[in-house]
Amino acid sequence: MSDLPTSPESVAPESTAGVTVTVPDHVVFRVFAAETVVLNINTGQYHGLNPVAGRMLETLQVTPDLRQGAQALADEFEQPLERIEHDLQAFCDDLASRGLLELHGPRAL
């Protein structure tokens, strides 16, 4: 999996309002020091996430509300909320396109 986007573009705050995510039952992941390995049991494909992306996935599993997850990550990484929200949205879009995450709610990315 590619690194997370690094553009400083801002996302409109309402873009993630009410959006939640779930890790489907056919997806399992395990965190290691250097990467997080994600397995889609249905396809047998493994995906490797860098430590930041792995932390994002862990946070979303505990805090499935995208806006709340972005706030938690912004606090943890001491980064502007708008940047984290943008990166998290792009991350979720990428995982959803691979069948590794499900998006729910209004305007589900």
CA 18, distance to chain mean position in Å, is 15
Q: What is the pLDDT of residue 5?
A: 39
Segments of the chain with pLDDT less than 50 = 1-13
Rounded to two decimals, the pTM is 0.81
Q: What is the pLDDT of residue 71?
A: 97
User: Hey, where are the domains in the chain?
Assistant: 24-104
Q: What is the pLDDT of residue 109?
A: 52
Q: What is the pLDDT of residue 102?
A: 96
Pick the CATH number of 24-104 from 3.30.70.1400, 1.10.8.420, 1.10.3720.10, 1.10.10.1150: 1.10.10.1150
- Other CB atoms within a 10 A radius of the CB of residue 101 amount to 21
Q: What is the pLDDT of residue 107?
A: 56
Give the C-alpha separation, 100 to 25, whole Å: 10
Q: What is the pLDDT of residue 8?
A: 37
Q: What is the pLDDT of residue 98?
A: 93
Give the Å distances, CA to CA, from 40 to 1, 7, 34: 14, 29, 20
Q: What is the pLDDT of residue 11?
A: 38
Q: What is the pLDDT of residue 108?
A: 53
Q: What residue spans of the chain are helical by DSSP H? A: 51-62, 66-77, 81-97
- With tokens 């779930």, the residue in question is 22
